[in-house]
Amino acid sequence: MDEALAASFKRMIEELPLHKFLGLKISSVGELEASLIIVVGDSTINPAGSLHGGVIYLMADVSSSVAIETSLSSDEHAVTIDTQTSIYRGTTEGEVTFQALVARRTRRLAFINVKITDSEGQLIAESRITKAIVNGVHSSKKSK
């Protein structure tokens, strides 16, 4: 992905209303990998005051989408078909990093691992996400 396209993609992802509400920031995007960050705060906590599990699932999926995007042609997009997340511990403050790495990509499937760590680098969760690679221009790739 060239730099101009990467910058445009980053803006598009960060400006989606839900992502903006959660404070999502793309830290880095490389070939078949991506790192996203959120800060634990009022919009991301559960009633117990720790990071909401639903936010973990959502952000793991978003980070996997950003990671696989680097390998897609202009007429392909990726659709989540399976996700499995294990939460090991909670966190109540600071930055949370979602590091996605495409473990394998075939013509029609992608297998992505996501490690979720707190601001001290401690592993708080892991996700394994499978995406189908489908033909057809995704709405984000259509010229406006």
Q: Where are the domains of the chain?
A: 3-141
| CATH superfamily, domain at 3-141 | Hotdog Thioesterase (3.10.129.10)
DSSP string for residues in 65-105 = HHHHHTT--TTEEEEEEEEEEEE-----SSEEEEEEEEEEE
User: Tokens representing 14?
Assistant: 């960060």
Q: What percent of the chain has pLDDT over 70?
A: 92
pTM of the model: 0.89
What is the structure's pLDDT at 144?
43
Query: What is residue 17's three-state secondary structure?
Result: helix
Predicted confidence (pLDDT) per residue in 51-103, tens digit: 999 999 999 999 999 999 989 998 999 999 999 999 999 999 999 999 999 99
pLDDT above 50 for 14: yes
pLDDT above 90 for 126: yes
What is the structure's pLDDT at 72?
92
